[in-house]
Chains A and B, each alone.
Chain A
């Protein structure tokens, strides 16, 4: 568990996660499957992707969304490259922050400004897609394209 929530974020919002699941499935044929870790005790949505950035064979997004609009979108892949787009209280960083690859550290302000679950899903997908296409992760947290 890589949670670093440091404030009250409310309950997990399964409806928002279902919207995000629908977006990812509709956005990219590389998404193999997507679902909750459990129906009886869901803690996160997992998006399984059939390819990864650079020579990674696969990647996965583990997503939590809370009723307050707080979220955590954690990317990991076959090469152990971890990064996270987060929105939650964190005393030493802006609420909306980005945990840089390859170890989800250090933390700086996130370039994602949209707040609806479907829009955040689309933004994460676009940013990931650019890294996938260019095979480099240095611009992951840059909203402008070209960077």
Chain B
């Protein structure tokens, strides 16, 4: 990642056109297809993704099939042709690895407990059992929509936290025994888990 000096000159013309021009100047076609499909949460055709990434449809199709082979992209065959979206596992795994790296087992358990408590209080406040029941009970403009967004967030966080917790039992290389042999103090390392030495960071 490069951090540039603050830009000296302001843009001329329409800011919307300017940012598209800058983006296409500073990135490759492959970068843009990857960046666009990484935030594609509903299946789209190569033509639609090409349009968003400002590349030609054949270029988009080529890169999308490469990324599908690598598991970054989910390819869906429909009667109307191929469609693509981001592979949900890739994103979940990035979040899980970051949590596993930065948090102890106890912190994750505590977070799961708090999230469940908060979910219970939302259910109680609206007297519903599922998110769908709550959305059906609401009209446009109701204050309860914040709770819908929050509830979805809680469900997602719970799944991620539970997966991160499960990773503590996953040790095919028997790293605990290896750590005991090599390190003076191994407690911290064991608690931080499998991805403890991973250099990549998802947040600052």
Which residues from chain A sit less than 8 Å from chain B, CB to CB?
3, 5-16, 18-19, 21-22, 25-31, 33-36, 39-43, 66-67, 89, 91, 111-114, 116-119, 122-123, 126-127, 129-130, 133, 143-146
Contact = CB atoms under 8 A, between A and B. Distances in A.
A27 B4 contact: yes
Interface in B49-70: 52
Given A14-B95, A114-B16, A129-B10, A29 B5 contact: yes
Interface of B: 1-7, 10-16, 18-20, 22-23, 35-36, 38-39, 41, 52, 86, 91, 94-95, 98-99, 102-103, 107-108, 111, 114-115, 135, 140-142, 145-146, 148-149, 152-153, 156-157, 161, 202-204
6 contacts: A9-B145, A14-B95, A40-B103, A40-B157, A118-B23, A145-B10
B149 A5 contact: yes
B23 A15 contact: no
**CB-CB nearest 3 A-B residue pairs:** A122-B19, A35-B204, A40-B111
A10 B145 contact: no
Given A31-B3, A118-B23, A16 B145 contact: no
Given A15-B91, A19-B39, A91-B140, A26 B3 contact: yes
A40 B99 CA distance: 7
Contact of A114 (B19, B35, B153, B202): B19
A6 B139 CA distance: 9
A51 to B, nearest CB: 9
